[in-house]
Amino acid sequence: MRRASQTKPSGPHCQVAVHPRRQLAIFAAILLVVFGSLLLAHELIRRAESAEPAEPAKAAKPDPYAWQSLFDGKTLKGWKVTKFGGEGEVSVKKGAIQMEMGESLTGITYSGKPPKCDYELSLEGMRLDGNDFFCTTTFPIGEKFCSLVVGGWGGPVVGLSCVDFYDASDNVTTTFQDFKSKKWYKVRIRVTKHKIDAWLDKEQVVDLPTAEHKFDIRDEVDLSKPLGISAWCTSSAVRNIRIRKLKPDEAAPPKKKGDK
Tell me the per-residue pLDDT of 135-157, one tens digit each, with 9 for 90 and over: 999 999 999 999 999 999 999 99
pLDDT tens digits, residue range 74-113? 999 999 999 999 999 999 999 999 999 999 999 999 999 9
Report H helices in 53-144.
none
pLDDT of residue 17: 56
Catalogue all structural domains in the chain, each as residue range(s) with its CATH number.
Answer: 68-251 (2.60.120.560)
Q: Are 197 and 139 in contact (CB under 8 A)?
A: no
User: What distances in angstroms separate CA 99 from CA 135, 165, 204, 236, 244, one per listed residue?
Assistant: 10, 28, 26, 5, 25
State the Cα–Cα distance between residues 119 and 191, nearest whole angstrom: 6
Buried b (16+ CB within 10 A) or exposed e, 4-34: eeeeeeeeeeeeeeeeeeeeeeeeeeeeeee
How many CB atoms within 10 Å of residue 231?
31
The pTM of this model reads 0.77
Straight-line distance from the first to the last Cα atom of the chain, in angstroms, rounded to the nearest whole number: 132
Q: Lowest mean pLDDT: which of 48-52, 134-138, 181-185? A: 48-52
- Within 10 A of 207 (CB to CB), how many other CB atoms are there? 13
